[in-house]
Amino acid sequence: MLRFDDRVAIITGAGHGLGRSHALLLAERGAKVVVNDLGGALDGTGASTGPAAEVADLITKNGGQAVANADDVATPEGAHAIVQAAVDAFGKVDIVVNNAGILRDKSFGKMTVEEFDAVLAVHVRGSYLVSQAAYPLMKAAGYGRVVNTSSPAGLFGNFGQANYSTAKMGLVGLTKTLGIEGARNGIKANAIAPVAWTRMTEALLPAEFEAKFTPERVSALVAYLVHESCEVSGEVFTVGGGKVARVFVAEGPGWKSDDLTPEAIADNWGAVMTEQPYVLTAADSMKSML
């Protein structure tokens, strides 16, 4: 069994849904958990200490160790307070699961700049801020595990979610670069793109999905990715309903010419669009252009 004894985990947005399930699973397997949740509505308005406290209490009642924290991941002060809560209660941070999220869906033409910024602030800035606040501790320890929460809506796009899709694809870039930079200090970062029945999706998914798409079926992958035995970093996985799959950003062989004109590109469009074989790194991409 993969255990987390003596590991300290911060789970953001753990008062409901996926984060709650991640927190319960890691605690059950021995981790000391900071249950963070701002406790607001689905659109990010409002705040309450209730949801984080409820989950932390449940963990404690079950014999585990947890503290509640209701700070906002999207502010530097909030992010530092979350990490400080881990240090104060448990002395260190080994694991950060950036899971907090909100929705402000609107079709592209109608979306306001406030709706765009609010969603990016929680998902992208929040993940960056909490990971960065924990980073010096992880570096000093020579160990760290980070999981960021992307979405199929970001990887593949989704109607009415320009803000959310931008944020969720942004997290792929954050994950890949943190994976590269963290490598020399034993820090691994990966991203998940989940599907689960939560308050975020219950109005969108068909009712028969509830039993199959449980949050627990996402948490199993999160637990694997934040375990010390996990060897991958900078990767992205879709996960839901019992299925896990690697998602990769890849580049085809393409087509090149020293006399690249718009017409030449149009004439060779088939080669530009070819999907095999794949280029998987920025360095390979550059080399293929030489």
Residues at the contact surface with ligand NAD, assessed by CB under 6 A: 12-13, 15-19, 36-40, 42, 44, 51, 72-74, 99-102, 122, 126, 149, 151, 194-196, 198-201
Instruction: Please tell me which residue in 128, 143, 164, 278 is annotated as part of the active site.
Output: 164
Separation of alpha carbons 170 and 84, rounded Å: 26
Q: Is the peptide bond before 277 cis (omega within 30 degrees of 0)?
A: yes
Beta bridge partners of 140: none
Rounded alpha-carbon distances, angstroms, from residue 113 to 76, 121, 163, 169, 245: 21, 12, 9, 18, 34
Encode burial over 7-36: b for 16+ CB neighbours within 10 A, e otherwise: bbbbbbbbbbbbbbbbbbbbbbbebbbbbb
280, amino acid identity: L
Q: Least distance (Å) from ligand NAD to the CB of residue 115? A: 14
Taking the least distance from each CB to ligand NAD, the nearer of 189 and 195 is: 195
Q: Least distance (Å) from ligand NAD to the CB of residue 150? A: 7
Beta bridge partners of 245: 238
E-strand spans in the chain? 8-11, 32-36, 65-69, 95-98, 144-149, 187-194, 236-240, 243-247
Taking the least distance from each CB to ligand NAD, the nearer of 122 and 236 is: 122
Taking the least distance from each CB to ligand NAD, the nearer of 93 and 143 is: 93
HEC per residue, 232-254: CCCCEEEEECCEEEEECCCECCC
Taking the least distance from each CB to ligand NAD, the nearer of 51 and 170 is: 51
* Structure token pair of residue 14: 């753990």
Is there a catalytic annotation at residue 278? no
Taking the least distance from each CB to ligand NAD, the nearer of 124 and 137 is: 124
User: Which residues, at least 6 apart from 69, have a Cβ–Cβ distance to it below 8 Å?
Assistant: 34, 35, 36, 37, 52, 81, 82, 85
Catalytic residue annotation = 164
